[in-house]
Amino acid sequence: MYVPRPSGSVGGRDAGEQPRIYQVWRGNNKFFLQGRFIFGPDARSIFLTMSLIVAPVAVFCVFVARHLMNDFPDHCGISVMVVVVVFTVYDLTLLLLTSGRDPGIIPRNTHPPEPESIDGGNYGRGQTPQQFRLPRTKDVIVNGISVKVKYCDTCLLYRPPRCSHCSICNNCVERFDHHCPWVGQCIGLRNYRFFYMFVFSTTLICLYVFAFCWVYIIKIRDFEDLSIWRAMLKTPASVVLIIYCFLCVWFVGGLSVFHFYLMSTNQTTYENFRYRYDRRGNPYHRGVLNNVLEIFCSSIPPSKNNLRARVIVDQGMQQSRLPSRGFMSPNMGKPVGDLEMGRKPVGWDEPRMAADISDLEVGLGGMLDEKEGRGTHASPNVSQDGFSPEVVEGRAGMHSRQSSWDPRAGSLGSVDSDSLQMKPAEEANAAGHATSSGAQ
Closest among 212, 223, 155 to 4, alpha carbons compared: 155
Q: Considering 152, 163, 169, 180, which one is annotated as catalytic?
A: 180
Alpha carbon distance 109, 49 (integer Å) = 35
Q: Are 49 and 183 in contact (CB under 8 A)?
A: yes
Would you put residue 176 in left (φ > 0), alpha (ψ -120 to 50) or beta?
Answer: beta
Q: Parallel, antiparallel, or unpaired: how do β-strands 145-152 and 137-142 relate?
A: antiparallel
User: What three-state secondary structure class fits 120?
Assistant: coil
Side-chain-side CA neighbours of residue 338 (13 Å): 19
Q: Are 388 and 432 in contact (CB under 8 A)?
A: no
Alpha carbon distance 69, 67 (integer Å) = 6
The helix or strand, by DSSP H or E, that contains position 130, with its residue range, turns out to be: none
Alpha carbon distance 331, 281 (integer Å) = 30
Alpha carbon distance 408, 360 (integer Å) = 8
Closest among 114, 161, 118 to 141, alpha carbons compared: 161
Q: In angstroms, what CA-CA distances link 237 with 69, 221, 228, 397?
A: 17, 16, 15, 80
The 8-class DSSP code of residue 122 comes to -
Sign of the CA dihedral 239, 243, 248, 249?
positive
| Angle of CA points 101, 107, 110, to nearest 5° | 155
The helix or strand, by DSSP H or E, that contains position 319, with its residue range, turns out to be: helix 317-320
The helix or strand, by DSSP H or E, that contains position 416, with its residue range, turns out to be: helix 412-439
The 8-class DSSP code of residue 282 comes to -
Residue 180 annotated in active site: yes
User: What three-state secondary structure class fits 373?
Assistant: coil
Q: Give the Cβ contact number of residue 290 at 10 Å.
A: 11
How far, in whole angstroms, is CA 287 from its chain's centroid? 30
Alpha carbon distance 11, 8 (integer Å) = 10
Which residues have a catalytic role annotated?
Answer: 180
